[in-house]
Chains A and B, each alone.
Chain A
Amino acid sequence: MQDFLQWLQQPGLNHFLLLSGILFSLGVFAVISRKNAIMVLMGIELILNSANINFIAFSRFSTGTFDGQVIAIFVIILAAAEAAIALAIVLNIYQNFNTVNVDEINQLRD
């Protein structure tokens, strides 16, 4: 118990990893369980952010180089591109089907 309190008082690599693990699980939960396609996208953003926390935490504590941070920048770039494309697709789906619930969209043609 004393060890655990001691551990809690000094945030290190493990604290950030645990936080990103929980964030990742929440993101996966949103992707699986939400009906609205935009909620699924928000879950994906959470997942990408948790991966970024991992990259930067390892970059700071383990490698001591800046490679992790550069890769985190690429992740952010891809997240921006992904969000733009995905929202364009969602808008198109809404025009065609009048809904964005992922369980009701079950045909490729309109």
Chain B
Amino acid sequence: MDLYAIIFYLFAVITLGSATIVVFSKNVVYSAFALLFALFGVAGLYVLLMADFLAITQLLVYVGGILVLVLFGVMLTTKVFDVQMKTKTIQMVPAVAILGLLSGTIVGVFWSTDWYISENPIDVAKTAPQIGNMLLTTYLLPFEIASVVLLVALIGAAMIARRERKG
């Protein structure tokens, strides 16, 4: 068993274990912190997939931004010194049935399909130059649209969250 495999299984266990805690934990705050480790594990998997730039982006945007936002949401919408922090589950039976069906189908398809494996997989030290090139040539229009979407989301979120209630 070489180092690559060991690190892969390490990050896989971190990701899936934390995701399980996120899904099944009764406490919202535990879930939010488990989500941190799940996202961190996914960033490690990106490094194993030779996507160093995306791994850093994942850490900055998800762990640094979205997770803090989620924690804000948790703190502002639950009564911290109350039992309200506990959250219940609903529709357990259909949810478990759908979970089993869905994961079975997806894993079965992934397992049985004979995916095309390229002769020369990506194996470069740094990906940022190529990604930057593609963002400014092939994907220029989506890139610009994404910037507008972020601006609109920023203004919209501020307006929705700050709206004063009348009466």
B residues neighboring A (CB under 8 Å): 1-2, 4-5, 8-9, 12, 15-16, 19-20, 22-23, 28, 31-32, 35, 38-39, 42, 45-46, 48-51, 53-54, 57-58, 61-62, 65-66, 69-70, 72-74, 76-78, 87-92, 94-96, 98-99, 102-103, 106-107, 110-111, 115-122, 127, 130-131, 134-135, 138-139, 142, 146, 149-150, 152-154, 156-158, 160-161, 163, 165
Contacts and interface: CB of A to CB of B under 8 A. Distances in A.
Interface of A: 8-19, 21-30, 32-39, 41-43, 45-46, 49, 52-53, 56-57, 59-67, 69-70, 72-74, 76-85, 87-92, 94-96, 100-101, 103
A99 B67 CA distance: 21
Nearest to A15: B8
Contacts, number: 246
B111 A11 contact: no
Nearest to A92: B160
A26 B138 CA distance: 34
Secondary structure at the A interface, as helix, strand, loop or mixed, is helix
Contacts of B138: 67, 70
B103 A32 contact: no
B90 A33 contact: yes
A87 B73 contact: yes
Contact of B66 (A23, A26, A80): A80
B70 to A, nearest CB: 6
A99 to B, nearest CB: 8
